[in-house]
């Protein structure tokens, strides 16, 4: 049996009681942390709580999970995954491979940035369109496709969750994010990310350091909106209760 | 201080360690369970775990939260909310009222059907459009607007999360849901919910009784897709890895 255990939003305290019990029962505990900006010390403290070592796997060991699945045929193996074990492409292959090899797979859910960001924003769940990432640019690859999703949602009056990218577990900071958004706006020029656009910036959701700030990009750029991981919300058409709740975070 | 504590997907074991610690520290613990189909015995077992009573509030006591907020001015008060404390209209007012009265408000997140359903489906998070509810019909109110969101998402190749309604904490069962979908299709006739449409049906996500079934509505109707709470996913355009992962649930 392979159990994918959600680590939740921030640190070891975001694991559910069900997850903790499963970890205590497991013969072997692994962790996959390369997709996320994990709070330092989390795994050490969790290992202490469950009184057994947690072995960190490399990206390759999760993507080509032959050994992991072989072990899971004979033992109860847990794999800790940050957030709610959302199905990234890696996890989809893991699931398909498990099925092929006849290994039972269980998911133990935990808090997720997807619902937590909506919850913290106070905006209506049913008014969120397709979410999108603001990806790092490289020398050769400078995508502006983030704007397509923003435009599609805006056309329908919907809000957009804008995931600010992570690379090798390190989140893009607000300075980089605002600069990138400026460059994309310059190229696309539809005013969705102009200096006067009002957006909601959320930093380190679910932690004691959480910051939520609402204002124009111009103002947000000049202040400290908090450290990564970041997630922004570009609001669509606002209901008056939504305006009221956003004003609680107005800078 | 008022803490909104997420109960998570299914029962007391879905509370996070952080949530449990907060409940243990609280002077008073309330619960709001009228918006959800809560697993029986959950609050009793949780009360035992935190060694203090949990007082269930009526809808009115949460909507007009004067007393709750007065108490939270002087004491550490917790309010347990099913799932991740998503911001229903009620919770938005609670937050705004707390701010007006100078009461600090904290949210402790937990697993949520929003991310758990996506996670269990194996479909790509970035391909989900606006979610929508399939609401109960009454003698006088027979809404078919669910279809508008389905059509909008389908046009853009996006998947739709279809929340199957709850009324007074009781979830619509699959027979009622399929009948209603049939009636809506009959009225709208765009083939999005035809007998040949393939959808994913998820029952009691996160519980030991969880069922996930993929097939045509015609086939799903004839089998037991599981008990409420239910959530359906109407897929948009499928990537080949998504087709592969859905086939794991093919009936």
Give the tens place of pLDDT for each residue, B178-195. Answer: 999 999 999 999 999 999
Assess A35–B contact: CB distance below 8 Å, yes or no. Answer: no
Assess B225–A contact: CB distance below 8 Å, yes or no. Answer: no
pLDDT of residue B165: 92
Substitution target in A95, A96, A125 with the highest count of B β-carbons within 10 Å is A125
pLDDT, averaged across chain A: 93
For residues B210-229, one letter each, b for 16 or more C-beta atoms within 10 angstroms of the residue's C-beta and e for the rest, the string is bbbbbbebebbbeeebbebb
Place of tokens 């090798």: A168
Contact A167, A189 (CB under 8 A): no
For residue A167, the Cα-to-chain-centroid distance in whole angstroms is 12
pLDDT of residue B215: 98
Q: How far is B148 from chain A (nearest CA, A)?
A: 12
DSSP character string of B64-80:
S-HHHHHHHHHS-EEEE
Token duo for residue B189: 């006739």
Q: Residue A34's pLDDT band (boundaries 50, 70, 90)?
A: confident
Strands A77-81 and B166-167: unpaired
Residue of B nearest to A116 (CA): B109
Q: Is residue B62 predicted with pLDDT exceeding 80?
A: yes
| Residue B16, helix vs strand vs coil | strand
Neighbouring C-alpha atoms within 13 Å toward the C-beta of B78? 24
- Give B 145-164 residues with CB within 8 A of chain A: 152, 156, 158
- Give A 184-223 residues with CB within 8 A of chain B: 205-206
| Residue B193, helix vs strand vs coil | coil
Q: How far is A114 from chain B (nearest CA, A)?
A: 6
Residue of B nearest to A109 (CA): B111
The CA distance from B54 to B188, in Å, is 46
Assess B132–A contact: CB distance below 8 Å, yes or no. Answer: yes
Assess B13–A contact: CB distance below 8 Å, yes or no. Answer: yes
> Beta partners for B27?
none
Q: How far is A176 from chain B (nearest CA, A)?
A: 22
Q: Is residue A17 predicted with pLDDT exceeding 80?
A: yes
> Beta partners for A132?
A162
Facing A16 at nearest CB: one of B14, B95, B128: B14
pTM of the model: 0.94
pLDDT of residue A178: 98
Torsion, Cα A154 A158 A160 A161, to 10 degrees, reads: 180
For residue B60, the Cα-to-chain-centroid distance in whole angstroms is 21
Q: How far is A173 from chain B (nearest CA, A)?
A: 22
Give the tens place of pLDDT for each residue, B76-99. Answer: 999 999 999 876 666 788 888 999
Q: How far is B149 from chain A (nearest CA, A)?
A: 10
Indicate left, alpha or beta for A191 from its phi (over 0: left) and psi (-120 to 50: alpha). left
Q: What does DSSP assign to residue A159?
A: B
Is B133 in Cβ contact with A131 (below 8 Å)?
no
| Residue B115, helix vs strand vs coil | helix
Assess B18–A contact: CB distance below 8 Å, yes or no. Answer: yes
> Beta partners for A150?
none
Give the tens place of pLDDT for each residue, B99-150. Answer: 999 999 999 999 999 999 999 999 999 999 999 999 999 999 999 999 999 9
Mean pLDDT of A87-112: 87
The answer to ipTM > 0.95 is no
Q: Is residue A216 predicted with pLDDT exceeding 80?
A: yes
Assess A12–B contact: CB distance below 8 Å, yes or no. Answer: yes
Is B111 in Cβ contact with A125 (below 8 Å)?
no
pLDDT of residue A35: 65
Is A115 in Cβ contact with B84 (below 8 Å)?
yes
Rg (CA), chain A: 20
Mean pLDDT of A177-193: 96
pLDDT of residue B89: 66
Return all residues near B173 (Cβ < 8 A) that are at least 6 apart. B227, B228, B230
Q: Is the peptide bond prior to B229 cis by the omega test (within 30 degrees of 0)?
A: yes
H helix or E strand, kind and range, residue B108: strand B105-108
- Which residues in chain B are contacts of A110 at CB distance < 8 A? 16, 110-111
Residue of B nearest to A155 (CA): B152
Is B110 in Cβ contact with A114 (below 8 Å)?
no
């Amino acid at each position: 049996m392979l159990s994918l255990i959600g680590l939740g939003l921030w640190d070891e305290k975001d694991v559910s009681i069900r997850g903790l019990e499963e970890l205590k029962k497991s013969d072997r505990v692994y962790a996959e942390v390369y997709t996320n900006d994990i709070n330092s010390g989390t795994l050490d403290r969790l290992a202490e709580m469950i009184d057994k070592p947690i072995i960190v796997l490399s990206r390759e060991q999760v993507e080509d999970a032959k050994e992991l699945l072989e072990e899971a045929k004979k033992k109860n193996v847990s794999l800790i995954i940050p957030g709610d074990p959302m199905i990234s492409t890696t996890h989809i292959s893991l699931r398909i491979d498990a099925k092929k090899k006849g290994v039972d797979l269980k998911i133990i859910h935990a808090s997720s940035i997807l619902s937590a960001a909506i919850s913290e924003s106070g905006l209506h769940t049913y008014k969120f369109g397709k979410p999108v990432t603001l990806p790092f640019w490289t020398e050769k690859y400078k995508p502006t496709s983030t704007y397509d999703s923003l435009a599609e949602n805006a056309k329908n009056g919907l809000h957009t969750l804008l995931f600010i990218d992570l690379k090798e577990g390190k989140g893009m900071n607000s300075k980089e994010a605002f600069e990138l958004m400026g460059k994309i706006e310059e190229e696309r020029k539809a005013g969705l990310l102009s200096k006067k656009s009002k957006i909601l910036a959320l930093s380190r959701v679910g932690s004691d350091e959480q910051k939520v700030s609402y204002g124009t990009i111009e103002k947000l750029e000049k202040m400290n909106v908090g450290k990564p991981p970041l997630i922004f919300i570009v609001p669509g058409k606002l209901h008056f209760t939504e305006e009221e709740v956003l004003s609680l975070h107005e800078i």
